[in-house]
Amino acid sequence: MTSAPELRIGILGVARISGDAVVLPARALGHRLVAVASRDPARAQFFADLCAVERVAPSYEALLADPEVDVVYLPLPNALHARWTLAAIAAGKHVLCEKPLAATAEEARAVRAAAAAAGVHVHEAAHQLCHPLYTALARELDGLGKVRHAAAQITMRPPPPEDPRWSAGLGGGALMDLGCYGLQVLGWLGRWAGGGPEVVAAAAELRDGVDSRSTVRLVFPSGATGTVHASMVAADPAPHSLRIECEGGVLDVAGFVLPHLGGALTVLRADGRRSVTEFDAVSTYQHQLRRFAELVRAGRPMPTSLADSVATMALLDDARHRFH
């Protein structure tokens, strides 16, 4: 797999996702891991040693000031995404920010405006949409007519009590952590349903102000409907699933978030024909970093834009406002 010219990456914060999301893809694609910074210097040094990052920056600010860093990967807690993305933009860096892009749609709009003014590239890590699964899915959708209904489900076992996902102040909750994937995909489906969806209902089970599980119902301009269900308290998590019912058939996507882990696209056409497409083990994260490098170095567009990120954040805002 070819890649655009080398990126020089700084990692702002130490998080579990960083290994899969940037360290392994950077190694595979030939990009440099120049620096890492953490509020805990010992953790940063451990991470640097483990992942062969060239050096530890003494602070977030120092990493952003490093002239050898041209791209920042940002896996901080959700509530900190906009603050440090804006700081990276101000420092002239391109940013690959973990999802969701911000804590609110207002913050997301501020990021979008700042990136445009500075002439830098910022991408929300909707990594699943960078995978060839979605190219295949789009091809099938083009032949099956309008979407009538789409349903996404993503669940996980409970994170430990100290996990940021249990913190309302850090932007936690099942919808922000898991449901955002479903909302991103349903937003992407808008091209086959007359435009992006709107929230019509949302319900959640709350624990200390954070949704442990939630369900969002949506409607598209065409009249098509959608449902997103997310839970981070599942005793026996089901595989991530996406079902799309169209005029000409039904598409089932097993593992729609991480299709490289045994995901498959099954199409049942109205005439009874059935087909199954499986995908290789190249990760969504590697596809994402390859495409992000092509955006930064050659201006080639990603599958989603900051306008899409703002739209997803508006859906998240609307749904969460209905929880209380």
d(CA 295, CA 100): 20
> Do 191 and 269 lie in a common domain?
yes
Q: Is 146 a catalytic residue?
A: no
CATH number for the domain spanning 188: value is 3.30.360.10
DSSP 236: S
**269 within domain boundaries:** yes
Instruction: State whether 119 and 267 are in the same domain.
Output: no
Q: What is the pLDDT of residue 4?
A: 59
Report the half-sphere exposure of 41 (CA within 13 A, side-chain side). 6
Residue with tokens 């609110």: 104
Q: Token digits for 202?
A: 């949302």
Same domain? 224 vs 90:
no
Handedness of CA 243, 25, 5, 96 (dihedral sign): positive
Residue whose C-alpha is closest to residue 152's, from 182, 107, 194, 189: 182
> Which among 64, 93, 125 is the end of a domain?
125
Report CA dihedral (81, 87, 90, 95) to the nearest 10 degrees: -40
Q: Alpha carbon 222 to chain centroid distance?
A: 26
Q: What is the C-alpha separation between 179 and 256, in angstroms, rounded?
A: 12
> Given this model, what pLDDT does residue 53 score?
98
pTM score of the predicted model: 0.94
Task: Considering the candidates 31, 93, 99, 213, report the single residue annotated as catalytic.
Answer: 99
Residue 118 and residue 135 in one domain:
no
User: Using one digit for the tens of pLDDT, what is the confidence trace for 124-175?
Assistant: 999 999 999 999 999 999 999 999 999 999 999 999 999 999 999 999 999 9
pLDDT tens column, 203-262: 999 998 899 999 999 999 999 999 999 999 999 888 899 999 999 999 999 999 999 998
Q: Last residue of a domain, which of 110, 125, 140?
A: 125
Give the mean model confidence (pLDDT) for residues 21-29: 97
Q: What is the number of structural domains in the chain?
A: 2
Same domain, residue pair 212 and 275: yes
Instruction: Judge whether 183 lies within some domain.
Output: yes
Rounded to whole angstroms, the Cα distance separating 12 from 25 reads 17
* Whether residues 109 and 48 fall in one domain: yes
Is residue 103 a part of any domain in this protein?
Answer: yes
Which pLDDT belongs to residue 2?
Answer: 44
Q: What is the mean pLDDT of the chain?
A: 96
Residues 167 and 43 in one domain: no
Q: Are residues 267 and 249 in the same domain?
A: yes
Whether 297 maps to a domain, the answer reads no
Determine the structural domain holding residue 119 and report its residue range: 8-125
| Residue 5 pLDDT class (50, 70, 90 cuts) | confident
Residues 91 and 23 in one domain: yes
The verdict on whether omega for the bond into residue 164 sits within 30 degrees of 0, i.e. cis, is no
Same domain, residue pair 61 and 86: yes
- Tens-digit pLDDT profile for residues 184-196: 999 999 999 999 9
Residues 121, 139 share a domain: no
Q: Is the same domain home to 87 and 235?
A: no
Nearest to 33 by CA among 61, 72, 82, 59: 72
* 233 neighbors 247 (Cβ within 8 angstroms): no
Mean pLDDT across 5-30: 95
Is 1 a residue whose pLDDT tops 80? Answer: no
Does pLDDT of 294 surpass 90?
yes
**Residue 23's pLDDT is what?**
98
Which of 109, 125, 141 terminates a domain? The answer is 125
Q: How far is CA 136 from the centre of its chain?
A: 19
pLDDT value, residue 242: 98
Distance CA 256, CA 78 (A): 22
Report the distance separating Cα 224 and Cα 230, nearest Å.
21
